[in-house]
Every structure is written in structure tokens, then in C-alpha cells.
Amino acid sequence: MDTEDEEEANGKMAMTMDDSSGDDCIDRCEEECGSEAWRIACCSRVGRICIMTIFVIFMYLLLSALQFSEPAKLGGEPEVRQGINLTRAQEVLESLCDAYDQGKVSGDSCNRLCFSRKWTITDYYEGNKIAVIIKDGGQNAVYKSSKPFFSQFPQPDFSMSNDDFSNKVVDLINDELRLGWPKHYRRHLMETLWPTLLRTKGEEMSRADRHSLYSLISQPEFILFRVLPLTRVTPKIIGTCGHLYQTESLVAFRMKGYYTNLKAKILVHLMGTLKLLYEFLDEPLQWCDVRFDNLGLSADYPKRFVLMDGDMVYTRSKLNSLLEGRPCQNDEDCRIGDCTSRCTANLTCSQRSNGNLEVFCEKLVNKLFNNNWSKNNKYLTACRDTGRNITQRLNELRLAWSWNLSDV
Ligand SMILES: *[C@@H]1O[C@H](CO)[C@@H](O)[C@H](O)[C@H]1NC(C)=O
Ligand SMILES: *[C@@H]1O[C@H](CO)[C@@H](O)[C@H](O)[C@H]1NC(C)=O
Ligand SMILES: *[C@@H]1O[C@H](CO)[C@@H](O)[C@H](O)[C@H]1NC(C)=O
Ligand SMILES: *[C@@H]1O[C@H](CO)[C@@H](O)[C@H](O)[C@H]1NC(C)=O
Ligand SMILES: *[C@@H]1O[C@H](CO)[C@@H](O)[C@H](O)[C@H]1NC(C)=O
């Protein structure tokens, strides 16, 4: 799987912090001017232009990185990523809109998506899921699904009564999230999943509605993004059409060169995300695919990263249901991504044995701060202080959060 492509397609523009841009210029100066490069550089015209260019590039990188802002692309043609199969993307959208025109699918995004069918597709990814990015009135619209075509999804039993259908939906959601959603709240759940119901109180869902919703809830990422927005670390769902869901468009966070003065700011963003994972209901949300590549920035949230990819995010009960009792030979068999558990004496896996904090430290914080960390920073000591066990460190971290990150 090509993760680079997937990330591009998941979010959109990459915000790159790269400090190599000025090197060429310096090299050329040094080649041309020898050891006295700097003195000559200050006097010669070429040298001054070099210095100006480096300065401008540096300021640009610094400012764009500091504000975490999207690179300004004012006017001009929208940029289409090279090497994508536009024919395929077109085919996926055409087939969905054909089904919409025939009344087979529905969703609150369909009208807009299928109105003119003149899409400016800027990105398309197809792998373990698909993502299409369309430029729509100056904005990026991101559509995702686990499979390209509506016909690839299961059909519900259309003879079910409305209540039976709702109960079936609650069962499927409970099976996925293991949060034990009570049946008597099913109307609320249905309205969360299919917001059109809020406007058409009492009306039954049409066949197209049911079929579309059914295709959506067979996709774990849709369920996570739609049902658990209270996590506040997943992208919002803006609308759906058939089996496609439109997510909030994020700026992918890329880190290449490390600017020391940015690290503190990145650390605060990481802590915001970690805090919200731990604060989710009674049970922390488990993130098993922890990478910088998987972090996005949302315009709405100044102090946290958003998880761009929901494939390996689980409620604790769900994760333990996947791990516990799984047959194993050794601990390696008891691992789901970054989430580990132990192979017990009776050769079945235990519950998750590590926590979000350990993985954040190992995969993100320690990478960012290498060996250079300060005892005064409570966030860093949570990762480095080996004198105390993880429970104590987490408790101290919670205290620091409640002082410094109460408003995340
Ligand atoms: C692009 O997609 C079309 C339609 O699915 C397919 O026929 C074609 O082989 C694809 N091209 C490439 C280069 O993959
Ligand atoms: C295996 O052992 C664990 C405790 O070590 C226990 O909870 C679990 O039920 C056992 N599983 C089986 C299949 O015996
Ligand atoms: C460590 O960080 C301090 C500031 O926090 C900085 O002055 C110093 O240069 C850094 N050292 C290394 C080796 O990066
Ligand atoms: C928390 O806030 C205090 C006071 O505002 C500050 O001195 C301290 O450095 C902050 N801690 C972290 C880890 O940012
Ligand atoms: C961590 O240390 C505390 C106090 O020393 C102790 O009560 C607790 O059981 C320890 N937790 C773990 C997971 O070892």
C-alpha cells in the first residue's frame, strides 16, 4: 500500500516543514566564491540576491509553519496530483450519480455532487479504501468509502418494518463500537446516523435511504466519524451520498526538518490529541496506528491534531474483543498495529497491555525531541521519567493537562 498517496488523498495539501530549500544557493555561492564566500556574498550582487532569496524562503517557511496555515494558492488552475487515474475517479462518481438519478441511492450530499457532474477532480486514491477530492467552488470536497461502487455493499432486508430496521442498525453499531447503545435510544442514534430524519419527523425511511445507510454502516470509519464526533479528534462528516461520505478537509501535517522553536507548539498539539483520547467517555479511545503522517490539522481546532485515518481507532471494549481469546504462539501474534497484548499461558491473547501514552511517547514525542529534553517540561517528563510507573506518570500528566490544556 502506498501510504504517501493515501495521505494525499485522505486530507489534501501537505504542509511541509523542510529546511533544505536554501542549501542549493549556499552551495553555489561557496563553489563560486571559495572560502571567503560570505564576505564576497555581502558585496556582490549575486551574493545579495542569494542572501535575499534564502531570507525570503526562510521567512516563508517559518511563517507558514508557525501559523499552520495552508499554503496560499490564490487563483490559477487547481493542482491535480500527478499519476492519478482520473478515468477511474470519474467512473466511480458517474456510477453513483446514475444510481442517484434512478432513485436507488440518497444522501444529503447527492444533490450537490450530482447536479452538474462537471467535477474538477484533483486527487484520487484507491487501495484498502477510496478517496476522491473534488475542487468545488474554491473548496476541497473529500469523499471517502471503503469500496468504489455501491453495488459492492450488502443490501438490507427491505421487507423489515421501520422499527426492525432501526433495531438492526443499533445491533450493527453496537457490534462495531461495543458501547452498548440501548435500544430505547435508537431514534436518537438513527438521527445521528441519518440527519435527514431530523427534518422529516415521523416519516419512514425510503428504500434508497435504507440501502444507502446500510452501505455506510458497513464501514467502520464512517461509524467512528459519524457516531463519535464527541471524541473531537476525528474529522467531521459533512454529508453523505450513497456509500460515499464527505469528510471535513484537513491539512496533512508533514514534518521533515525540525525547527526547535516549533517543537514546543507541536508538542502542545500532540498533548491536546492525547488528552482527548483519554477523556473519551469512560474508556479511552485506542489508537493503534500512531504516526506523524496520520495527523491532520483542522481549521476549527487550534490546539490539537485530528486523526486523518480512522481505520485503526477502537473503543477499548472493541479492541479487547478483537484481542482477548485470540489464539497465539507468542506476543507478536497479539499485536494490532501499535496496540500490544500478551500471549498468556493458555495460548490466548490478553487485553491490551500498553496504552496510548506509551505509544505517543515512543512514536511521536521521543522522535521529536530526540535526546534533548528538559526536566521542567511536564509533558516531556511524562515520557522520560523512568523512575515512576506509567500509571503515576499518566496521573501527573492529567494534572498538567487540567492546568495547561483545559481549553483544548
Ligand atoms: C484507469 O481506470 C480505468 C477505468 O477503471 C481502467 O480501465 C484503466 O486501466 C485505468 N488505468 C490505469 C493506468 O490504471
Ligand atoms: C486463558 O487464561 C486467562 C487468564 O490467564 C483466562 O481469563 C481465559 O479465560 C483463559 N482462556 C481459555 C480459553 O481458557
Ligand atoms: C536542546 O534544546 C535547547 C533549547 O531547548 C537548544 O538551545 C539546544 O541547542 C538543543 N540541543 C541540541 C543538541 O539540539
Ligand atoms: C504550563 O503553564 C505554566 C504557567 O502558565 C508554564 O510555566 C508551564 O511551562 C506550562 N507547562 C507546559 C508543559 O507547557
Ligand atoms: C504504580 O505505582 C503505584 C504506587 O507506587 C502502585 O500503587 C501501582 O500499583 C503501580 N501500577 C503499576 C501498573 O505498576
Share of the chain above pLDDT 90, in %: 45
Q: DSSP label at 36?
A: G
Q: What is the pLDDT of residue 383?
A: 87
For position 139, what pLDDT does the model report?
A: 87
342 ligand 2 Cβ < 6 A: no
CA of 288 to the centre of ligand 2 (A): 24
Q: What is the pLDDT of residue 152?
A: 96
pLDDT exceeding 70 applies to what percent of the chain? Answer: 78
Grid coordinates given for 94: 458517474
Task: Calculate the alpha carbon distances from 273 to 222, 287, 301, 335, 361 in Å.
Answer: 20, 11, 10, 23, 13
Q: Tell me, what's the pLDDT at 180?
A: 81
pLDDT digits (tens, 9 = 90+) for 338-364: 999 999 999 999 999 999 999 999 999
Give pLDDT, residue 29: 39
Residues lining ligand 3, Cβ inside 6 A:
260, 372
User: What Å distances lie between residue 187 and 99, 226, 280, 348, CA to CA?
Assistant: 27, 15, 23, 39
The per-residue pLDDT for 101 is: 96
Residue linked to cell 506523524: 292
Domain limits, the chain: 2-75, 80-249, 252-404
342 Cα–ligand 2 center, Å: 12
Instruction: Give bridge partners of residue 130 from the DSSP assignment.
Output: 126, 145
**Distance between CA 195 and CA 95 in Å, rounded?**
24
DSSP state of 379: H
What pLDDT shows up at residue 310?
87
Give me ligand 3 centre to Cα 263, in Å. 11
The structure's pTM equals 0.75
In the structure, which protein residues have their CB atom closer than 6 angstroms to any atom of ligand 4? 377-379, 400, 403-404
In this structure, the dihedral spanned by the alpha carbons of residues 22, 60, 62 and 46, taken in order and rounded to 10 degrees, is: 30
Q: What SS3 class is residue 275?
A: helix
Q: Which residues are bridge partners to 125 per DSSP?
A: 131
Residue type, 277: L
- pLDDT at 300 (0 to 100): 81
Radius of gyration for the alpha carbons in the chain, expressed in angstroms and rounded: 25
**pLDDT at 56 (0 to 100):** 52
For the chain, list residues with pLDDT below 50. 1-43, 50, 62-75
| CB-based contact 134:126 (threshold 8 Å) | no
Beta-ladder partners of 131: 125, 144
**What pLDDT score does 77 carry?**
65
Contact predicate 353/320, CB 8 Å = no
Cβ count near 362 (within 10 Å): 14
pLDDT for residue 164: 94
Indicate which residue's Cα is closest to atom 13 of ligand 3: 372
Predicted local distance difference test score (pLDDT) of residue 137: 83
Where do the DSSP E strands lie in 107-190?
A: 120-126, 130-136, 139-145
